[in-house]
């Protein structure tokens, strides 16, 4: 186990997940500095007692670093800047990234005496805020030991060492595409139940106690879909990206998972209709619109007032 007592840590990316992880580390006694190009994100971090900077180079050489970035391309440009000064012990990348990128960054870090681990996480903003995330870790044994203090703070020990660099990314992508498939299949199933006159909530609760049950049927549909709130905090754009990446990673080694490819296609169709900023649970609006109060895309949600009608530039209520 790593025995460093230095508690300085940088969190790169202060969005919903990164901001929550920064707050968790701060409460756990770490000396946290955050970076984000967004002034609003930096302000929110400051309100939580976290020092924030708008200059990434300020954080070069920080002993520990957590990355929470939107894409592998940003990991590739960020890590060299963080390693530009000596002192880095471990970089923990929670980004849902690409295995080849993680392998490259692990080699780069090792050449400079630092550790890099790919540790994409699951558990959403609630898990990030409570320090109860789960993580899929790809790393050498030495890199894992160096990163362990941070992993423990973010997960409470709930992480799996999958294998070498990049392997955490592979399993996280497979996890997400399976969740994407389940969101589609549960929605379709509950749509069938409703068509038979069965309350979707009752069907979901019953299924969740049987062999067809899952977190999707037990939590996601009851909490975010059937209520019409769709406020999980994870975007449809990111899930569509992850599903597509999972299929691409499979193709790189000659695998052709037909069902997963079909699911990825459905998410691309939903993305085209709903846009990347929609909540990922809004996939239900395209596969089973009758079961969510939000309704199908382009329709008026149940209970909403009628839309204004515009005639010759004048707005009137229909």
pLDDT digits (tens, 9 = 90+) for 91-129: 999 999 999 999 999 999 999 999 999 999 999 889 999
Q: For the segment 211-230, what is each residue's pLDDT rounded down to a tens digit?
A: 999 999 999 999 999 999 99
Q: Report the distance separating Cα 231 and Cα 145, nearest Å.
A: 36
Cβ–Cβ under 8 Å, residues 108 and 81: no
Residues assigned a catalytic role: 172
**What is the model's pLDDT at position 6?**
87
CA torsion sign, 14 to 18 to 21 to 25?
negative
Give the end-to-end CA distance of the chain in Å, rounded to a whole number.
68
Q: 104-143 burial, b if ≥16 CB within 10 A, otherwise e?
A: bbbebbeeeebbbbbbbbbbebebbbebebbbbbbbbeeb
In this prediction the pTM is 0.88
Tens digits of per-residue pLDDT, 125-159?
A: 899 999 999 999 999 999 999 999 999 999 999 99
- The β-bridge relationship of strands 134-138 and 121-122 is antiparallel
- Summarize the confidence of residues 49-55 as an average pLDDT: 95
Name the CA dihedral angle for 214, 176, 93, 169, rounded to a multiple of 10 degrees: 120
What CATH number should be reported for the domain whose range is 170-291?
1.10.1040.10
The string of pLDDT tens digits covering residues 224-282 is: 999 999 999 899 999 999 999 999 999 999 999 999 999 999 999 999 999 999 999 99
Tell me the mean pLDDT in the region 5-18.
Answer: 93
Structure-token match 């975010």, residue found: 224
Among 3.55.40.20, 3.40.50.2000, 3.40.50.1260, 3.40.50.720, name the CATH number for the domain at 8-164. 3.40.50.720
Domain extents in the chain: 8-164, 170-291
Query: 78, 101 in Cβ contact below 8 A?
Result: no
Structure letter (DSSP) for residue 306? P
Tokens, residue 292: 């969510």
pLDDT of residue 298: 85
Q: Is 234 left (phi over 0), alpha (psi -120 to 50) or beta?
A: beta
Q: Report DSSP state, residue 216.
A: I
pLDDT at position 210: 98
The most distant pair of C-alpha atoms in the chain lies apart, rounded to whole Å, by 72
DSSP bridge pairs for 56: none
**Count of other CB atoms within 10 angstroms of residue 258:** 8
């Amino acid at each position: 186990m790593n025995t460093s007592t230095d508690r300085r840590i940088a969190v790169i990316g202060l969005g919903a997940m990164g901001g929550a992880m920064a707050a968790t580390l701060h409460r756990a006694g770490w000396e946290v500095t955050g970076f984000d190009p967004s002034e609003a994100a930096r302000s929110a971090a400051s309100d939580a007692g976290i020092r924030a900077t708008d200059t990434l180079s300020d954080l070069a050489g920080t002993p520990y670093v957590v990355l929470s970035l939107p894409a592998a391309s940003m990991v590739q440009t960020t890590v060299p800047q963080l390693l530009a000064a000596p002192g880095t012990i471990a970089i923990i990348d929670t980004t849902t990234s690409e295995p080849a990128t993680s392998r490259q960054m692990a080699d780069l870090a090792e050449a400079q005496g630092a550790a890099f681990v790919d540790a994409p996480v699951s558990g959403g903003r609630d898990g990030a805020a409570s320090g109860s995330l789960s993580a899929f870790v790809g790393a050498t044994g030495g890199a894992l030991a160096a990163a362990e203090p941070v992993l423990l703070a973010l997960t409470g020990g709930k992480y799996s060492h999958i294998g070498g660099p990049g392997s955490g990314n592979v399993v996280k992508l497979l996890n997400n595409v399976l969740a994407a498939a389940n969101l589609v299949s549960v929605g379709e199933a509950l749509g069938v139940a409703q068509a038979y006159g069965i309350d979707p909530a009752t069907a979901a609760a019953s299924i969740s106690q049987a062999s067809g049950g899952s977190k999707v049927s037990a939590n996601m549909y009851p909490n975010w879909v059937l209520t019409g709130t769709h406020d999980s905090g994870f975007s449809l754009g990111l899930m569509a990206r992850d599903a597509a990446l999972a299929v691409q990673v499979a193709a790189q080694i000659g695998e052709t998972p037909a069902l997963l490819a079909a699911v990825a296609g459905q998410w691309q169709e939903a993305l085209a209709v709903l846009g990347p900023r929609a909540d990922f649970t809004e996939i239900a609006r395209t596969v089973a619109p009758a079961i969510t109060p939000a309704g199908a895309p382009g329709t008026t949600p149940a209970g909403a007032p009628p839309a204004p009608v515009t005639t010759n530039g004048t707005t009137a209520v229909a």
